[in-house]
Amino acid sequence: QSGKVRSKGFEFEASGPLPYDFNVKLALSTQKVRVVEDADPARVGSKLFGVGKGNATAFLEWAPTAGPLAGFGIGGDVRYVDRTYGTQGLFTTAFRQEGYEVPSYTVFDASLRYDLGRAVSSLHGVTLQVNATNLLDKKYLTSCYLDYSAWCWYGNRRTVQGTIAYRW
């Protein structure tokens, strides 16, 4: 590969506590990426393959600090990834002008945790946690490659993972 691209964009991230023991994390990015130099002059000005216009995520967690539920935490996350443009091989000159898109997608995640030290003092520093990604088990494409045939990769299916952690 040879050439140059220009990327212009904006990123925003914020996190902090909310009333009633809620915490929030927000992130947003937007970008415009174009080819400005290439060995193939037809590519100049085109979108960069595999790069979308941006993405966004929002995470909300409730983690009581006092009372009978202190040490417990439950959270949810929504992630949006904008459409991207498929990568093309050497033999796809017919598609270079038209291009093709990998669709945008949105997935939801969740987490649940408990600090065992809150219930049993000898377990101070031990935390149990369960995370689930792609809660709705959505089928979505993350990237594609087009040459003699099309190759596309799906995103991860629903995944549930348990963790026991000890911190000292």
Within 13 Å, how many C-alpha atoms sit on residue 115's CB side? 16
pLDDT digits (tens, 9 = 90+) for 128-163: 999 999 999 999 999 887 766 678 899 999 999 999
Residue 24 has pLDDT above 60, yes or no: yes
Q: Give the full edge-to-edge strand order of the sheet including 126-133.
A: 3-18, 22-38, 54-62, 72-81, 105-115, 126-133, 159-166
List the one residue out of 137, 127, 131 whose CA is nearest residue 111. 131
Q: What is the mean pLDDT of the chain?
A: 89
Q: Which two tokens stand for residue 120?
A: 């049993």
How many other CB atoms sit within 10 Å of the CB of residue 137? 11
pLDDT value of residue 42: 79
Q: Report which listed range, 2-6, 7-11, 83-87, is most confident.
A: 7-11
pLDDT value of residue 97: 46
How many other CB atoms sit within 10 Å of the CB of residue 32? 14
Provide the pairing of β-strand 141-146 with 87-88.
Answer: parallel
CA distance 54 to 115: 36
Q: Which two tokens stand for residue 74?
A: 């439950």
pTM for this entry:
0.81
